[in-house]
Amino acid sequence: SDTPKSGKASSTKRRLTNSLRIRKHGIKIKIPYSWYRSKGIRYKMLTDRLLNKADRLNKAKEQEEELLQLFRLTQAEIDTSLARLNRLRKEKQMIFKRGRKAAAKWPADSSVDPVVKAVRKVQANGGF
């Protein structure tokens, strides 16, 4: 019922389709018919142009909304990655601090094995 009959001419189909689209989407014409009549100008509504422009604007709006959604998803991924990176950095700092504290507690006497001394020296400088 919303589509024109197939036996009609293509221009008639187009006009009927356009009128159905106008009725469905509610496009309003700002200049009334009486104004055209008083000026002696032929009243010819350019529905094709109006509807095509409305379609282009709708498509552009949808594309921008999709792009915005992609940006939001990308931003969420970046935020998650940055949070993970910061957590790993803090973990690494804590491990180095623990190693330094442990190395500071060990006695630095000469009776300790040279391998142990080397390990302590590396740990004191931030290594494992």
Q: What is the pLDDT of residues 40-77, one digit of tens each?
A: 877 666 566 677 788 999 999 999 999 999 999 999 99
Q: Does 126 or 89 have the greater pLDDT score?
A: 89
Is residue 77 assigned to a domain?
Answer: no
Host domain of residue 2: 1-45
Is residue 5 assigned to a domain?
Answer: yes
Q: Is it the case that residue 87 has pLDDT exceeding 90? A: yes
Is residue 73 assigned to a domain?
Answer: no
Q: Is it the case that residue 109 has pLDDT exceeding 90? A: no
Is residue 16 assigned to a domain?
Answer: yes
Q: Does 38 or 23 have the greater pLDDT score?
A: 38
Q: Does 13 or 26 have the greater pLDDT score?
A: 13
Task: Check residue 7 and give its pLDDT.
Answer: 62
Task: Check residue 28 and give its pLDDT.
Answer: 59
Task: Check residue 116 and give its pLDDT.
Answer: 74
Domain count, the chain: 1
Query: How are the residues of the chain apportioned to helix, strand and coil, as percentages rounded to the nearest 5?
Result: 75, 0, 25
CA dist 78 and 84 (Å) reads 10
Is residue 4 assigned to a domain?
Answer: yes
- Record the pTM: 0.41
Is residue 69 assigned to a domain?
Answer: no
Task: Check residue 83 and give its pLDDT.
Answer: 97
- Structure tokens of 63? 């594309």
Is residue 76 assigned to a domain?
Answer: no
27 contacts 50 by C-beta, under 8 angstroms: yes
Is residue 13 assigned to a domain?
Answer: yes
